[in-house]
Amino acid sequence: MNKTKTNIGAMVILAVMFFIFGFVSWVNSILIPYFRISCELTHFESYFVTFAFYIAYFIMAIPSSILLKKTGFKNGIMVGFMIMALGMFVFVPAALVREFALFLTGLFLIGTGLAILQTAANPYVTIIGPIESAARRISVMGICNKVAGIISPLVFAAVILNPSDSQMFDLIESGTLDQISKNALLDDLIRRVIVPYAILGTALLIFGVFVKFSSLPEIDTEESNGEVKGDTYENRKSVFSYPYLVLGAIAIFFHVGSQVVAIDTVINYAGSMGVNMLEAKVFPSYTLACTMIGYIIGIFLIPKVISQRTALVGCSVLGLILSLCAVLVDVPVVFMGHHINLSLLFLCALGFPNALIYASIWPLSIHNLGKYTKTGSSLLIMGLCGNAVMPQIYGLIAQHSTFRNGYWVLIPCFLYLIFFAVKGYKINYWHKKMA
């Protein structure tokens, strides 16, 4: 089979996979306020949606790597889709009994499936072409991911929410209803997830089987990633012998944590300004639209005009500036008919620099790992648990202070990313190598 055609076919399948990743992941931005109301949660408790979903990346990343070594990438991908589907199906009994803990179990299973899939998919994207253009390929995948992210909260809201729900939300939170009437409304609200999640779970099962029998090539990461000039990967005892990889995993932790805070908290932040959930549902899409613009620019500029590292430096600095503006600027504005604070728009604008950060961190961290590529990939995937931790920190600060003060959590994230972009990616040895 012609290698070029194989790669193009693989890119198409991977693009569909990244679309699915985005559709499933970014719907959390509306699940958070939705569960907060329907399951009667505090703001802090509602962010356990992201915690349960993304902590699976930390817990299951290494087992995912072991699974992929035993089954191969294609069989592992099928297993990942099956576990995701199981998580979707758990939403059905969870909705019938309105039990938040059961929903969290389903979200953990979905996250587990995604951990397997991303442990497989990211090396595919990196290795399937020249390492110098890996950020461009990741940008293409990012566009597919973020297109799904733009539409998923809107589609979910359209399926489960009605135009008259604003009055119902106000009535539920007013405290004027007796417990029986309130429970009846909440039961009706939460059971709206049954049909869409049952359909989505079935679709994931079908696509998993399709990938198993598709033309997606099996890759040999031990051979395709090569050697470090002047030093073979066999001389290293573990993935932890690669400082740039470990520092890269930490960079991913802070990056994805800052990204999910900027997206998944924005509806609640808008709500604190008097914008109801039906109207605020558009703000995550604004953020992801900014991310899309960043990805498109990255495709055209990397590596022809700017290097992956230069993009990482510039985007990290811009992210720090926008984060400071989100925290410090307190100016009321009218945007698209919404009476909001200008800091909310700076938060949405964070989507732009965030686009190229992940795409740049991954190839700078995963190169020249040879036989450790699969394990190294799983270590980077573990870094995605930043999505679980950072929103919880944000929620804790927001609950005891203000929603806007919660965004101070973004500042150390971007400071570390600047360090990695300037220094961290170049560190090949923990101790200076003796001549």
pLDDT tier for residue 137 given thresholds of 50, 70 and 90: confident
Highest mean pLDDT among 4-8, 228-232, 236-240: 236-240
User: Are 368 and 233 in contact, with CB atoms under 8 Å apart?
Assistant: yes
pLDDT tier for residue 131 given thresholds of 50, 70 and 90: low
Distance of CA 316 to the CA centre of its chain: 18
How far is residue 197's CA from residue 94's CA, in Å, rounded to a whole number?
11
Least confident of 156-170, 197-211, 264-278: 156-170
User: Once rounded to an integer, what is the mean pLDDT over residues 408-422?
Assistant: 97
292 has a pLDDT exceeding 80: yes
Two tokens, residue 326? 């989100």
Q: How many Cα atoms within 13 Å fall on the side-chain side of residue 235?
A: 10
pLDDT at residue 251, rounded to an integer: 96
Question: At 221, phi and psi to the nearest 5?
Answer: -70, -20
Distance of CA 414 to the CA centre of its chain: 17
User: Are 358 and 252 in contact, with CB atoms under 8 Å apart?
Assistant: yes
Give pLDDT tens digits for 14-51.
889 999 988 998 888 889 889 988 999 988 899 999 99
Residue with tokens 């609640």: 268
Per DSSP, the residues of 103-131 read HHHHHHHHHHHHHHHHHHHHHHHHHSS-G
pLDDT at residue 214, rounded to an integer: 83
How far is residue 107's CA from residue 406's CA, in Å, rounded to a whole number?
24
Domains of the chain listed by start with CATH number: 3-215+236-426 (1.20.1250.20)
pLDDT tier for residue 325 given thresholds of 50, 70 and 90: very high
Q: Where are the alpha helices (DSSP H) in 303-430?
A: 308-328, 342-349, 351-366, 373-382, 386-400, 410-422
104 has a pLDDT exceeding 70: yes
Nearest to 378 by CA among 238, 173, 227: 238
Report how far apart, in Å, the C-alpha atoms of 219 and of each of 28, 129, 333 are: 32, 12, 52
pLDDT at residue 2, rounded to an integer: 39
pLDDT at residue 79, rounded to an integer: 93
Nearest to 47 by CA among 431, 409, 421, 420: 409
pLDDT at residue 135, rounded to an integer: 64
pLDDT at residue 143, rounded to an integer: 82
User: Once rounded to an integer, what is the mean pLDDT over residues 124-144?
Assistant: 74
H/E element holding 21? Answer: helix 3-26
Percentage helix, strand, coil, to 5, in the chain? 80, 0, 20
pLDDT at residue 62, rounded to an integer: 81
Give pLDDT tens digits for 370-397.
778 777 877 888 888 998 999 999 999 9
Nearest to 63 by CA among 19, 103, 111: 111
What is the pLDDT of the chain when averaged over all its residues? 86
pLDDT tier for residue 61 given thresholds of 50, 70 and 90: confident
Residue with tokens 């559709």: 23
Amino acid at 372: Y
Two tokens, residue 411? 């500042």
pLDDT at residue 234, rounded to an integer: 53
pLDDT at residue 390, rounded to an integer: 94
| Residue 141 Rama label (left phi>0; alpha psi -120 to 50; beta) | alpha
pLDDT at residue 158, rounded to an integer: 87
Residues 6+ apart with CB under 8 A from 332: 339, 340, 341, 342
46-57 burial: b if 16+ Cβ within 10 Å, else e: bbbbbbbbbbbb
Two tokens, residue 225? 């990633």
Residue 213 in 3-state DSSP? coil
**Percent of all residues in the chain with a pLDDT value above 90, rounded to a whole number:** 42
pLDDT at residue 391, rounded to an integer: 93
In degrees, rounded to 5, the angle at the alpha carbon of residue 360 between the alpha carbons of residues 357 and 365 is 120
Residue 42 in 3-state DSSP? coil
In 10 A of CB 305, how many CB atoms? 10
Alpha-carbon torsion (282, 300, 298, 18), positive or negative: positive
pTM of the predicted model as reported, rounded to 2 decimal places: 0.79
pLDDT tier for residue 220 given thresholds of 50, 70 and 90: low
Two tokens, residue 124? 């595919």
Least confident of 70-79, 220-229, 262-271, 305-314: 220-229
